[in-house]
Amino acid sequence: MKILSIILLGVLLGIGELFSPGMLFVLILIALAGVLIYKSGRWEQEKKFLITIFIVAILLRLILSSLLYLGVMDLGIGSDLFGDAKGYNFTGTYIAEVLSDRKILPDSAFGSDRIGRDFFWGRYKGALPPVVTFQVGGFGYLCGLFYALFGYAPLTIKFLNGLLGALVGLLMYYFFRDFISYKAAKWGLMLYLFFPSFLLWSITGLKDISCMFLIALVLFLFKSIIKRYKLFGFLILMLSIFLTGSRLWIALFILLIPLIIKNRSFLRLLMAACLISVSMYL
């Protein structure tokens, strides 16, 4: 029975990989996230609640993103319903072809996707575009790197966004569980995971969810600092946001080197400061 289950799982994964390249990679990330989420529960009831709601949230996002993708393809709209998402897809395709030095976009792709890709070829002529450029940013490079590694897969990018969207809720849950209450964190998690606008962003190729993920990760990294140092920790958070907003996070790094060596909490502070800076380029 176990062997049959493994064979069936392998067949399903193979079909998924054929359906959308890179899907196996995203499924591995989902499995790893599930293990970590289960272990993060402090008691058995919380473990079951967290893993159950994570699985439901992921399945809902995978199903809705697939339906949306197939729907827009059937209508002939293009790779995505939203214009900005199409722009990141154009950018990612061009960057992937530059990085891999091969054709990424299939001949069966929509005309709008080919036009968008050709626009970037005509503008940058084989050079990588600046990160701080409209419709490029960190998310454009993320799409490009993904396409270069796994092939043209706009649907898989949506699956990746679905995973990030679910993780935003879990990171915020940990933050509010420690600072408010378990009950408040539980209800906040359920409201976030199934709130229509957040759910919609999680099933498209937009950058919004990746930005929200970085913000939630920053708060999570600061959780132990704020809890330990209270007002001082909060002031450190505000200072790091100000410094990174001024593109001076390198100065913050230099100032904190002696403290990082002695205290691991400040290493988290540095990581959070860097993430805030990175998020400004997405």
Phi-psi region of 133 (alpha: psi -120 to 50; beta: other; left: phi over 0): beta
In degrees rounded to 5, what are phi and psi of residue 135? Answer: 65, 20
Dihedral of alpha carbons 214, 217, 223, 224, sign: negative
Phi-psi region of 152 (alpha: psi -120 to 50; beta: other; left: phi over 0): beta
Give pTM, 2 decimals.
Answer: 0.78
What pLDDT does residue 244 have?
47
What pLDDT does residue 212 have?
83
Closest residue by Cα to residue 222 from 259, 273, 184: 273
Q: In which band, very low, low, confident or very high, does the pLDDT at 248 lie, cut at 50, 70 and 90? A: very low
Q: In which band, very low, low, confident or very high, does the pLDDT at 110 lie, cut at 50, 70 and 90? A: low
Does the pLDDT at position 105 exceed 90? no
Q: Percent of the chain beyond pLDDT 70?
A: 66
Does the pLDDT at position 164 exceed 70? yes
The CA distance from 140 to 84, in Å, is 11
For residue range 193-224, list pLDDT tens digits in order.
Answer: 998 888 888 888 888 888 788 778 777 777 76
Does the pLDDT at position 228 exceed 90? no
Mean pLDDT of 11-34: 74
Amino acid at 273: A
80-94, 96-110, 150-164, 250-264: least confident range = 250-264
What pLDDT does residue 170 have?
93
Q: Which residues, other chains included, contact 265 with Cβ-Cβ below 8 Å and sequence gap of 6+?
A: 224, 225, 228, 229
Does the pLDDT at position 243 exceed 60? no
CB atoms closer than 10 angstroms to residue 81: 18
Complete DSSP assignment for 121-178: HHHHTTSPPPSSSTT-HHHHHHHHHHHHHH-S-HHHHHHHHHHHHHHHHHHHHHHHHH
Mean pLDDT of 87-97: 85
Q: In which band, very low, low, confident or very high, does the pLDDT at 165 lie, cut at 50, 70 and 90? A: very high
What pLDDT does residue 166 have?
93
Phi-psi region of 23 (alpha: psi -120 to 50; beta: other; left: phi over 0): alpha
Q: Where are the alpha helices (DSSP H) in the chain?
A: 2-19, 23-40, 44-75, 83-100, 111-124, 137-150, 154-179, 182-193, 196-201, 208-229, 231-245, 249-262, 264-279
Does the pLDDT at position 54 exceed 90? yes
Mean pLDDT of 59-66: 88
Q: Dmax of the chain from CA atoms?
A: 60
